[in-house]
Structure 1
Amino acid sequence: MAPIPTTMSGVLIEKNGGPEVLQWRTDLPVPKLQDGEILIRNEFVGVNYIDTYFRTGLYKAALPLVLGREGAGTVVASATDEFKPGDRVAYTGERAYAELTSLAADKAAAIPAGITTETAAASMLQGLTALTFVREAAGIKRGDEDKGPGSGPWVLVHAAAGGTGGLLVQLLTVLGAKVIGTAGGPEKCETAAKNGAQYVIDSRNEDAVARVAEITSGKGVDVIFDGVGKATIDSDFDMIARKGTLVIFGNASGSPPPIELARLSAKNIKLMRPVLFSYLATKEERQEYTKELFELILAGKVDIKVHDVYPLKEIARAHSDLEGRKTTGKVLLRV
């Protein structure tokens, strides 16, 4: 194995702003290992909306900062017995937009035979988000799928052609839910249908509230997964069923305005704002969900769709395409 250099390539931000603040650098220091950590030579890194939130300053972090929350590659050094150099691993962590990333070993998982490094990188953050949200937020438990297709609750997924939205649709359909997806335009609606949504609403050209009422015979949906935010929050309250659960997990159109608690009382709505890492707070939780995700991929029940793979140097273009709604499926960087 090649010796570990003292400097590396990567992407740094020194101030908040648009994609133009993303700096491609070749002189970043290689992280030094602490006890219990591994050093990974990244092959692929995932791009997620959370990266844009840190870039713009919506989420606060100390600067300068190397962005990126997931990746996959090969262990090149280890300060733990859990992994050895040469092991293929995927992870959720920090500072992934770089040639080399160090992190605690319990944040990484061995990539099983039968899953490519590219697929593993594309599956971690969005796949684990979708899986934990379905299990924990929507309350669809293991074994519910045995009751048969369409036996579960009515669930609406906004941006059902996107990365997380598409995986939510796939998982919910496999696990028996009756799924309505929203997407913008005919092409993305077609993608949402291919993801498994039984009903698809074109959010650009159809009245989503009226269509949901028609599809559910006036009942509304039991669960809404909303990663869009500001543009959809008002219609969510019209579409949710009595005793329904509204799960807000993203701000693709901007942060929703403050919600008056009294607004929940008319239908006894449960409102959630979950984040993945609070569902993976322990090593056992992380291992359990990662194992289930990889099993679903190996069984062909979940298809990890990659929109495109951009060179790491072209990170600004990747961010612009993601924010401009030009992508369907996962955006990856090749290191």
Structure 2
Amino acid sequence: MKAIQYQSYGDYRENRLVDLPRPQLREGEVLVEMRTVGINPLDNTFRSGHYYMATSANLPRVGGQTGMGVVTASNGERFSVGDRVFVRGAGLGLVADGTWREFVVIPEASLSHVPEGLDDNRAAAYLAGAGYLTGYLALTEIARFKPGQTVLAPAIGSAVGMETVQVARRLGAAMAISTAGNSQKAELARAAGYEHVIDLSRESLKDGVLRITEGKGVDVVVDGVSGALTGQALASIAFGGTLVIAGYAGGREASVNVTDVIWKAATIRGFTFRLFPPQVIATANTALLDYLKEGALQPTIGRVFPMSQAAEAVRYLIEDRPFGRVLMDVQH
């Protein structure tokens, strides 16, 4: 079977198309023929060797943390041949071979049914950046969000930014604010229905938040960007607000004014999925799937690449920062 595997840590070119044996079924497992798979910034972080588990003992590795496919054989009870399924699981693409291959054998617990009417690409986009799950857990479990509060999630084109905004709306946010790095992306976002988007080429994040909130600031920030934006995000928080740091697409170092922490009585929390027991994550996924079925969540696709262009697909996600998820079509 075709797969994207890296045999050493390095740049995008280490994502190589290889031929591997098809995996064999064991008791309680399901064989899934993958159709469309997602690309996550963590896929790039891990392959480049910048993750704490990126050791020589973890090589070679097939990348990919999520995707959708069709069941072709099952030794379990919940899924039948022909079922369309979401595929995700702890450690996939990181410490276990992931979804970037034609066939995956996986425990039933790592699968869920794709709702009727959701095509392959949008199904893969729903999982691709883990933005929905990150946003939901950051808001409900860390920030203890309450309906009527205001939320800021920078970078409207990114998984955490765009999908946290959608989740915040569904949870009853009075306002859900994001940012765009240029006027073109800001206009694209507004045309897609995102009303409160700060164009960072025209004003600072802090100024934009204070303008939109009439000087009050926001109750919760879910920051998947960090770097230079973190200090601005902290400065835009209302008294008693919470800053959840969920990523570092904009850089790993930040400068903050500590008086913003003191005078605002701000809470700063780091986000990692390791914070949450499996049952909490399962409950969150169930809630999000309900939101998806009712139409409150709108998975957005930036571009779909053939699997043969995996290296370029990852580069495109990391460097071009598209509006929406980047996917790979495993069948081409």
With the shorter chain as reference, the TM-score category is 0.7 to 0.9
Percent of matched pairs sharing the same residue = 32
Per-residue Cα deviation, 1:14-50 (whole angstroms, up to 9, x for no partner): 1222211111112x23233343322211000011111
Is 1:127 the counterpart of 2:132 in the alignment?
yes
Residues 16-165 of structure 1: pairs in structure 2 closer than 5 A: 16-26=9-19, 28-59=20-51, 60-61=53-54, 62-93=58-89, 94=92, 95-124=98-127, 125-140=130-145, 144=147, 152-165=148-161
The structure-2 alpha-carbon separation of the partners of 1:254 and 1:84, relative to structure 1 and needing over 3 Å to count, comes to same
User: Do 1:173 and 1:197's aligned partners in 2 also have CA atoms closer than 8 Å?
Assistant: no
1:236 and 2:246 matched: no
Relative to structure 1, is the Cα distance of residues 205 and 56 closer, same or farther in structure 2, using a 3 angstrom cutoff? farther
- Quick one: structure 1 residues 259 and 92, their matched pair in 2 at CA, closer, same or farther if it must change by over 3 Å? farther
State the distance in 1 between where 2:192 and 2:73 align.
Answer: 39
Check the 8 A contact 1:169/1:195 in 2, yes or no: no
Q: CA deviation at 1:281?
A: 1.2
SS in 2 for 1:214: helix
Aligned equivalents of 1:254, 1:212: Cα separation in 2: 21
Rounded Cα–Cα distance in structure 2 between residues aligned with 1:258 and 1:69:
32
Q: Letter of the aligned partner of 1:40 in structure 2?
A: V
Measure, in 2, the Cα distance between the counterparts of 1:259 and 1:35: 52
| Equivalent-residue separation in structure 1 for 2:113 and 2:244 (angstroms) | 31
- Distance, in Å, in 2 between the alignment partners of 1:183 and 1:132 is 23
Q: In the TM superposition, what whole-angstrom CA distance separates every residue of 1:187-219 from its partner, at most 9, and x where no partner exists? A: 211233345443221123312222222332333
Structure 1: how far apart are the matches of 2:81 and 2:276? 29
Listed as ranges, the gaps of 5+ residues in structure 2 are 93-97
Question: Is the Cα–Cα contact under 8 Å of residues 46 and 121 in structure 1 kept in the other structure?
Answer: yes
Cα distance in 2, alignment partners of residues 272 and 10 from structure 1: 37
After the TM superposition, which of the residue ranges 217-226 and 195-204 deviates more from structure 2? 195-204
CA contact (8 A) 1:67 1:96 kept: yes
What is the aligned partner in structure 2 of residue 267 from structure 1? 264
**1:262–1:189: structure 2 CA closer, same or farther, 3 Å change rule?**
closer
Letter of the structure 1 residue corresponding to residue 170 of structure 2? V
Deviating above 6 A after TM superposition, structure 1's stretches of 4 or more consecutive aligned residues are 258-263
Amino acid at match of 2:6: I
CA drift of 1:179 comes to 1.8
Alignment correspondent of 1:5: none
Distance 1:88 1:219, change over 3 A: same
| Number of residue pairs aligned between Structure 1 and Structure 2 | 316
Distance in 1 separating the partners of 2:28 and 2:99: 18
Alpha-carbon RMSD: 2.4
Between the aligned partners of 1:275 and 1:32, the Cα distance in structure 2 is: 32
Aligned partner letter, 1:317 = E
Q: Do 1:75 and 1:85's aligned partners in 2 also have CA atoms closer than 8 Å?
A: yes
| Structure 2 length-normalised TM | 0.86
Find the residue that maps to 1:71 and give its secondary structure.
Answer: strand
Query: Counterpart of 1:324 in 2: which secondary structure?
Result: helix
